[in-house]
Amino acid sequence: MLERKSIVSIEDVSTEEMFEIFRVTDEMQGSIDKKKRLTSMSGRIMSTLFYEPSTRTRMSFEAAMHRLGGSVISMAEPKASSAAKGETLADSIRMFSSYSDIIVIRHPLDGAARLAAKFSSVPVINGGDGSGQHPTQTLLDLYTIYHSFSSIDGLKIAILGDLKYGRTVHSLVMALSRFDVEISLVSPPILRIPDYIKSRVQDNVKLREETDLNEVLSNCDVLYVTRIQKERFSDMNEYNSVIGTYSIDVSDVDKMKKNAMILHPLPRVDEIKPTVDYDPRSAYFKQAANGVPVRMALISLILGD
C-alpha cells in the first residue's frame, strides 16, 4: 500500500501501513541475521541528497539499499552542488529524479522535503528537514518499542530532555498519540514541548509534564532520552543544574522496572553514562541498528519487490 508513495512526514504513514512496515522489518532482520543475500533492488538506484551533513542517517539508508542489492549515488558535499550556482531545489530534484528510482533528502530548511516530493518523478523519503520531520527515525523508534513489547498500546512512555527543539520528540509524540499510551514529558521548564504539539495530541493520549525525572523513573516501560544542547541556555547555572539531573547513570536505571527499556536517538554525549550500556535495559544501540532493517522495509514497500 506504500507503493510509489513519498514519505515526508510520519503522518504520511497510516497505522495499518506502519504495522506492515514492522512486519517486513522483522523479515529483513531475519535476512540480515542469516546473512541472506537479497537482490530485490538489484538494478535500482537510490540518490542520497544531503544538503546538510548527517553521516549516521545517510549511511543507514545506504546500507539498507545495499542490503537489498541496490545501488546508491550520493551528494554529501552541498557546497559542491548546483545549488551553489543558484539552481532552485525544484530544478535539482527534477534532475536527480531522472537519475534514480528513489530519493532520500536531508535539508536544513523546513518544508524542503515536501517541495522535493512535489517536483520529483520518483518517490522521496525525508531524511530530516529543518526542525520539521524525520519520519524514518520515528518508525525505527516505534519498531524498537513494538518489537520488544509486542504492542505499543498500554505502555507508559517517559520522554526526557530537550522537548522544545527536538524534532525527533515531536514526531514521536505525534505518532504515539495514535496508540493507547501514557506519555510523561520530563524537561527543564524552558525546554517544554511546544503548545501546538500538545494541543494536537492531548485528546488522544494521557499526557503529563514533569521536571523531576524521579517522578517517572520507577513507573515507565520506556525511557526515551534526548540530548540537551548547551547553546539553548542563556544561564549556564541553569544548564549545569539541568544537565546533572538528567544524566542517566546506573543508580537511576536501578530504580526502573526490570523489563523497561532505555532509548536514545543518538549521538549521545553525557545524557546516559557509559556504565549504563552494560545494563540489559539499554536498547539505544539496538535501536540504531534497527535503522537498517526499518529502512530496508520502507524501500521495499515503496519500490515493490
Residues 40-69 that bind its own copies (CB under 8 A): 42-43, 45, 47, 53-56, 59-60, 62-63, 66-67, 69
CA distance 5 to 181: 28
266 binds its own copies (CB under 8 A): yes
Q: Cβ closer to its own copies: 107 or 268?
A: 268
82 binds its own copies (CB under 8 A): yes
98 binds its own copies (CB under 8 A): yes
**SS3 per-residue string spanning the chain:** CCCCCCECCHHHCCHHHHHHHHHHHHHHHHHHHCCCCCCCCCCCEEEEEECCCCHHHHHHHHHHHHHCCCEEEEECCHHHCHHHHCCCHHHHHHHHHHHCCEEEEEECCCCHHHHHHHHCCCCEEEEEECCCCCHHHHHHHHHHHHHHHCCCCCCEEEEECCCCCCHHHHHHHHHHCCCCCEEEEECCHHHCCCHHHHHHHCCCCEEEEECCCHHHHCCCCEEEECCCCHHHCCCHHHHHHHHHHCCECHHHHHCCCCCCEEECCCCCCCCECHHHHHCCCECHHHHHHCHHHHHHHHHHHHHCC
289 binds its own copies (CB under 8 A): yes
243 binds its own copies (CB under 8 A): no
- Choice from 19, 73, 111, 259 touching its own copies (CB under 8 A): 73
Kindly indicate which of the ranges 36-44, 109-117, 176-184, 216-224 contains the residues binding its own copies, using the contact rule CB under 8 A: 36-44
249 binds its own copies (CB under 8 A): no
80 binds its own copies (CB under 8 A): yes
Cβ atoms of 273 and 297 closer than 8 Å: no
Q: How far is the CB of 292 from its own copies (least distance, A)?
A: 6
Residues 110-139 that bind its own copies (CB under 8 A): none
Q: Cβ closer to its own copies: 21 or 38?
A: 38
86 binds its own copies (CB under 8 A): yes
Residues 210-229 that bind its own copies (CB under 8 A): 227
Kindly indicate which of the ranges 76-84, 123-131, 170-178, 245-253 contains the residues binding its own copies, using the contact rule CB under 8 A: 76-84
Residues that bind its own copies (CB under 8 A): 35-38, 42-43, 45, 47, 53-56, 59-60, 62-63, 66-67, 69, 71, 73, 75-77, 79-82, 85-88, 90-92, 94-96, 98-100, 227, 266-269, 274, 285, 288-289, 291-292
